[in-house]
Structure 1
Amino acid sequence: MASTIRIVSRSSPMALAQVERVRGLLHREHPGLVTQVVPVTTSGDRWQGALSQLGGKGAFTKEVDAALLSGEADLAVHCLKDMPGDRPLPEGTTVAAYLERDDIRDAVVLPEGHTPLTLDELPHGAKVGTSSVRRVAQLADSHPWLECTPIRGNANSRLAKLDAGEFDALILAVSGLHRIGLEERISQILDVDAMCPPIGAGILALQCRVDDTDTIDAIGPLNHVPTWREAHAERMMLHALQGHCNSPIAGYAACAADGSLSLRAKVFTPDGKKVVNAHEWAGALTPDELGMATALALLRQGARELIDQIPH
């Protein structure tokens, strides 16, 4: 068993809070274990333009992967939703554990001190800050009177821009606000039927080198099997669709108390005018097979055409 584990992560307040959660769990399982934090600033953190110009979500993981593969670190903590789904993990690495899933829903956040409002109550032309094509597509359909305005940066910097008057509202992940201790900023929590979440929402993935058996053994007890099943179903579906960073794809798997697993998924046009959706149950299928079956159901309805017509 490893005596020291070096944990690499993005250097944002939320990412470091996530690392502290992992460190706490590791110390509970292995009281004598020493953990060290190796923060990195990724190209995605530095860039303030469209992610597609940097090659998509890989901009948030490239430097983290490099630290892991070079031996500078032993373990990486990722938000699963930020890990590219259209290509495999870097050769020589694996996700060895998934923490128990947090809230998958999105939230409406208003400027500090503002009277709580719902999306329906926001005035015509209100500027809603989000750079998520998934959120933009759904809001364009459900709330066409709102103006979705691009915003980049970590949650803390986005909230600062909101409070400075640059936006009338933000849409942020409920789980992220909880992780940085700012859940009191939530004005409304959006039901998944109103705002379908991103693939991997609320899941922290622990990545390490495939040959590092000491680290794999150490983090093994942290793996939450129902979340592992949900993650595999969702990620296989995303991989089979071969979407890119401009593809509005949403969905979530749910593992019921009796062990039954289902997967809902949607593919939108950027303006939200067209949507294909599927809801499949695993039955005897493995999570990966469920993900593939759900992708095929979407493709039969024209998901490939919707994805391919979006520039990237």
Structure 2
Amino acid sequence: MTDLVPTGQGAVEPAFSWSGGGGTLRLGTRTSPLAMVQARAVAERLEAVADVRVEVTGIQTAGDRHQGDLAELGGKGAFMREIDRALITGRVDVAVHCLKDVPGDVPRPNGLVFAAYVARDDTADVMLFPMASRVQRLADLAPGARVGTSAVRRRAQLGQIRPDLCVQYLRGNVNSRLGRLDAGEEFDAIVLARASLGRLGIDRPGEELDIIPAVGSGVLAVDCRSVDSDIVELVRLLDDRETRRCVAAERAMLHALRGHCNSPIAGHARLERDGQLSLRGMVFTRDGSRFVHAQEWAPPDKGPDLGAYVAGDLLRKGARDLIDGIPH
């Protein structure tokens, strides 16, 4: 991990000089094991496409320090503020974020641009069980079984499938969650993103859940200062066109819904075999007992229009009342 070392009166000496080849890029990310693995993978890809050295800089965020409900810090933006600040002030040159952690109701800072959306990874949510448990399926959990997750979207959809379960709040890095699960004292099952297990090299059996992913699920977004045209051009070499088209639809829907961090909103876009872009969106009450659903299709270059249309359909069906009925 690279330390952030200021020079002079609060200024930061730039470490990157790009002139078509050579130089060093400082890449900022959260300090969790998963974030560091993801950042190193992006760093390796940047080094593979250009004559550049990339140093990964770990930055601890308020969201990582706080172990309570993220709503107490204003939502998922708590994972980004310190990294945004480091990028704006020049302490780092690029940054990597899990796109699902980028709020849809808070404008991005002026001067920053997501120059690349890395090709989307697995979007599935999986239910995991204690290693010593004889139960290995959602259907076999007893009524009142304790299931851990921090995502209101997962909580709501589990409430639809098994309203008899006791879904409890669970935060922490992947390994700590697995440790608490295997201890067998707090949880009978937990739900995690399968992509996070794969990126960490954790091979563990689990049951894939038939639920809609989070907006931006499985996507790493690489952030840059828009004025650094050479860096933007370099990072764009990692951009995946299909992922960008899907993200454009999902993020447009999320933005139009104006949900907050406690809003159970799910959205997933994909390119179908006929070449059309599809988008499925859902908005739930906290317990999943009420919901609205919409799905539409559009040409692949019309992602923003598709997202706005699906959001409008959801709002016409009552999404605003569901969102406003949940306290921030």
Shift of 1:264: 0.2
Counterpart contact for 1:107–1:186, Cα < 8 Å: no
Partner of 1:260: 276
- 1:228 has 2:244 as partner: yes
Shift of 1:283: 3.2
Partner of 2:88: 69
Shift of 1:88: 2.0
Which residue of 83, 104, 107 maps to 2:123?
104
**Amino acid of the structure 1 residue aligned with 2:302:** T
- Map of 1:132-147 to 2, 5 A cutoff? 132-147=151-166
Shift of 1:112: 2.8
Distance (whole Å) between structure 1 residues aligned to residue 135 and residue 145 of structure 2: 15
* Cα deviations by residue, 1:273-305 (Å, 9 ceiling, x for unpaired): 111010011138621111101100101101011
Which residue of 9, 15, 27 maps to 2:47?
27
Partner of 2:292: 276
How does the TM-score come out when normalised to structure 1? 0.95
Counterpart contact for 1:268–1:274, Cα < 8 Å: yes
Distance (whole Å) between structure 2 residues aligned to residue 294 and residue 219 of structure 1: 31
Shift of 1:152: 1.1
Shift of 1:237: 0.5
Overall identity of the aligned pairs, in %: 49
CA shift in 2, pair 1:284/1:39, >3 Å: closer
- Count of residue pairs the alignment pairs up: 307
Shift of 1:262: 0.9
Which residue of 31, 35, 40 maps to 1:11?
31
- 1:172 has 2:219 as partner: no
* Cα deviations by residue, 1:244-297 (Å, 9 ceiling, x for unpaired): 011000010001355321100000011111110100111386211111011001
Q: Which runs of 4+ in 1 moved over 3 A?
A: 113-116
Partner of 2:167: 148
Distance (whole Å) between structure 1 residues aligned to residue 33 and residue 182 of structure 2: 18
Shift of 1:224: 0.3
- 1:119 has 2:135 as partner: no
- Map of 1:293-312 to 2, 5 A cutoff? 293-312=309-328
Partner of 2:62: 43
CA shift in 2, pair 1:109/1:206, >3 Å: same
CA shift in 2, pair 1:69/1:185, >3 Å: same
Q: If you compute each CA radius of gyration, which structure gives the higher value, 1 or 2?
A: 2
Partner of 1:200: 216
The SS at the match of 1:185 is coil
Partner of 1:289: 305
Distance (whole Å) between structure 1 residues aligned to residue 300 and residue 241 of structure 2: 17
Structure of higher RCO (CA pairs closer than 8 Å, 6+ residues apart):
1
Give RMSD over aligned pairs: 1.4
Counterpart contact for 2:135–2:141, Cα < 8 Å: no
The SS at the match of 1:84 is coil
Distance (whole Å) between structure 2 residues aligned to residue 9 and residue 176 of structure 1: 15
Partner of 1:83: 102
Counterpart contact for 1:112–1:185, Cα < 8 Å: no
Shift of 1:116: 6.0
How does the TM-score come out when normalised to structure 2? 0.90
Shift of 1:55: 0.3
Counterpart contact for 1:249–1:267, Cα < 8 Å: yes
Shift of 1:308: 0.7
* Cα deviations by residue, 1:184-242 (Å, 9 ceiling, x for unpaired): 2232112xxx3111100100000111111121111111100000000111001000000
The SS at the match of 2:206 is strand
Counterpart contact for 2:124–2:194, Cα < 8 Å: yes
